[in-house]
């Protein structure tokens, strides 16, 4: 497995894939660790999660540099990502016991009936490169707190991140085998999932990756959580604060190089504020500093891989050929590395790639709509249903519109973001199940009913 810096095309390191024997040993260690870990009092598990948060904070620059070198995001965004992982660990260190305390049910006099939450066992996490630390901690913090153990199959372009995450848990004092990274290619996931020692799986990634894992897991009757793609609408109504919407929208699309499932991708703008929004939004994205991701003042680093840049550019050119108007950007930068500028398309024809597919990079499709009803209709005109953002001066109207949008979360006057305190996940082609908050920690548990006469 080669780690290549996408900003410089330089090879960073080469890693040997784990052999079948090594994977088998890892699964044995995971099973053994689970038997011990599940018996640990919750306060021990919470204490170790706090220690993981400390380890993350103490070494945040080092981890952030590994992230930036392997996938090209700006260093300040990588530092923020590591800090968010620490917050996620802190959150479960503080709240896991409350989230998993037994629920009591009405029962006949003289009996008690309750639900207790018990861990399932080793959980396989198939994770992507776009937030190579956060996506993993979003699964690992609640799962470990619940008493499960983790096996990570990370994206093959971020092996250094995978190993660094394993070392976070080791250095924090977690028992051997509680969290392990498997350096393997995707075609070996099925066999691992079929193994009796693995009890469940979670996938963050593309639709095809999610449905392949879910099919195998289904065959072996194992629980899955899928967090897949999105084509999030960003709806600007006629009474919105347009300056704020344009500034936040520019970040909502371009943060993390635009490589986020919850990035705003389709900007649905009321005709009364369309011209002003388009002008301000264009000014905002054109002001972004694109360049060396290691530099502190960079807003947009490189895309994570050259092949993904070419896929993105194909989506843009095919959409322009179909009739979309290119307002800004639209050509890869003429320099070493995989750099693509913030790009805006208007007059987007129905069914062209930027309209109907997920764009995983800094490409915004901007639409003009006549009224609120058309805005909702267009927002819902997608197979995805991850997040959405609605902009209006009227909070009640915002909430009313939010409730008509088919998505796992809708943010009013804010960009879509995950936060350990609230559940996160999608509907439709964006997957199922929830991560984070109480819902997240209760995904990989046996909700056991205990009735005592």
Active site positions, annotated: 227, 261
Beta bridge partners of 451: 113
Q: At closest approach, how far in Å is the CB of 431 from ligand O=CCCC(=O)O?
A: 11
Question: Given the complex with ligand O=CCCC(=O)O, which of 238 and 311 has the nearer CB atom?
Answer: 311
Q: Check: CB of residue 256 under 8 Å from CB of residue 235.
A: no
Smallest separation (angstroms) from ligand O=CCCC(=O)O to the CB of 302:
17
Output 204 or 282, the one with its CB closest to ligand O=CCCC(=O)O: 204
C-alpha pair distances (Å), 41 with each of 47, 62, 123, 260: 10, 32, 20, 36
Q: Which is nearer to ligand O=CCCC(=O)O, 262 or 366 (CB)?
A: 262
Smallest separation (angstroms) from ligand O=CCCC(=O)O to the CB of 322: 27
Residue 88 or 341: the one with the smaller Cβ distance to ligand O=CCCC(=O)O is 88
Q: Which of 260, 209, 223 is nearest to 362 (CA)?
A: 260
Which residue in 251, 259, 337, 294 sits closest to 61, CA to CA? 294
DSSP output for 97-152? HHHTSPEEE---TT-EEEEEEEE-SEEEEE--SSSTTHHHHHHHHHHHHTT-EEEE
- How far are the Cα atoms of 110, 230, 277, 366, 392 from residue 282, in angstroms, in the given order? 69, 23, 8, 11, 20
The one-character DSSP state at 232 is E
Shortest Cβ 305–ligand O=CCCC(=O)O spacing (Å)? 16
Short-list 253, 405, 386, CA closest to 329: 253
- Residue pair 234/213 in contact by the 8 Å Cβ criterion: no
Phi, psi of 160 (to 5 degrees): -65, -40
Q: How far is the CB of 343 from ligand O=CCCC(=O)O (least distance, A)?
A: 19
As a residue count, the chain comes to 453
Q: Which residues bind ligand O=CCCC(=O)O (CB under 6 A)?
A: 130-131, 134, 260-262, 417-418
The phi-psi region of residue 121 (left if phi > 0; otherwise alpha if psi is between -120 and 50; otherwise beta) is left
Q: What is the C-alpha to C-alpha distance for residues 331 and 363, in angstroms, rounded to an integer?
A: 11
How many other β-carbons are positioned within 10 Å of the β-carbon of residue 243?
Answer: 12
CA distance 59 to 56: 5
- CB of residue 424 to ligand O=CCCC(=O)O, shortest distance in Å: 6
**Choice between 175 and 207, CB closer to ligand O=CCCC(=O)O:** 207
Strand-pairing partners, residue 270, are 369
Query: 277: closest CA among 151, 369, 178, 158?
Result: 369
Closest residue to ligand O=CCCC(=O)O: CB criterion: 418
Q: Name the residue nearer to ligand O=CCCC(=O)O (CB basis): 87 or 115.
A: 87
What's the closest the beta carbon of residue 417 comes to ligand O=CCCC(=O)O, in angstroms? Answer: 6
Q: Which is nearer to ligand O=CCCC(=O)O, 309 or 376 (CB)?
A: 309
Query: Shortest CA distance to 192 belongs to which of 257, 243, 129, 123?
Result: 123
Q: Whose Cβ is closer to ligand O=CCCC(=O)O: residue 134's or residue 384's?
A: 134
Chain-centre distance of CA 32, in angstroms? 30
User: Measured from the CB of residue 230, what is the shortest distance to ligand O=CCCC(=O)O in angstroms?
Assistant: 8
């Amino acid at each position: 497995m080669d780690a290549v810096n996408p900003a410089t095309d330089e090879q960073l390191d080469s890693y040997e894939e784990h052999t079948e024997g090594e994977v088998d040993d890892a699964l044995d260690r995971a099973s053994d660790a689970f038997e011990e870990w599940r018996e640990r009092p919750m306060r021990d598990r919470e204490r170790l999660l706090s220690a993981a948060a400390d380890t993350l904070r103490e070494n945040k620059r080092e981890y952030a540099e590994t992230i930036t070198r392997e996938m090209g995001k700006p260093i300040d965004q990588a530092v923020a990502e590591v800090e968010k992982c620490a917050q996620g660990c802190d959150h479960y260190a503080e709240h896991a016991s409350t989230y998993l305390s037994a629920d009591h049910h009405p029962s006949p006099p003289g009996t008690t009936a309750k639900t207790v939450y018990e861990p399932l066992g080793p959980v396989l996490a198939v994770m992507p490169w776009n937030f190579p630390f956060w996506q993993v901690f979003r699964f690992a913090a609640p799962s470990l707190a619940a008493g499960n153990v983790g096996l990570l199959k990370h994206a093959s372009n971020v092996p250094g991140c995978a190993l660094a995450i394993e070392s976070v848990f080791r250095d924090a004092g977690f028992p051997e085998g509680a969290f392990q990274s498997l350096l393997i290619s995707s075609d070996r996931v099925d066999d691992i999932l079929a193994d009796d020692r693995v009890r469940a799986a979670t996938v963050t990634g593309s639709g095809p990756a999610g449905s392949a894992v879910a099919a195998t897991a289904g065959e072996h009757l194992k629980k899955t959580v899928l967090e897949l793609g999105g084509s999030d609408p960003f709806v600007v109504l006629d009474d919105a604060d347009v300056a704020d919407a344009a500034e936040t929208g520019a970040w909502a699309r371009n943060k993390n190089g635009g490589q986020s499932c919850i990035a705003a991708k389709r900007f649905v703008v009321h005709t009364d504020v369309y011209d002003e929004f388009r002008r301000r939004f264009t000014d905002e994205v054109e002001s972004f500093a694109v360049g060396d991701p290691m530099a502190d003042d960079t807003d947009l680093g490189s895309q994570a891989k050259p092949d993904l840049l070419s896929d993105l550019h194909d989506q843009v050119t095919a959409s322009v050929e179909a009739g979309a108007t290119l307002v800004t950007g639209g050509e890869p930068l003429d320099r070493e590395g995989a750099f693509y500028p913030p790009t805006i398309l208007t007059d987007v024809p129905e069914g062209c790639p930027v309209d109907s597919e997920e764009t995983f990079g800094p490409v915004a499709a901007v639409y003009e709509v006549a009224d609120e009803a058309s805005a909702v209709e267009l927002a819902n005109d997608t197979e995805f249903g991850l997040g959405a953002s609605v902009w209006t001066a009227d909070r009640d109207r915002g909430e009313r519109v939010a409730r008509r949008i088919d998505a796992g979360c809708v943010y009013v006057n804010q960009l879509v973001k995950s936060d350990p305190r609230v559940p996160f996940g999608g509907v439709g082609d964006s997957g199922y199940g929830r991560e984070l908050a109480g819902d997240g920690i209760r995904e990989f548990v046996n909700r056991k009913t205990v009735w005592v006469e």
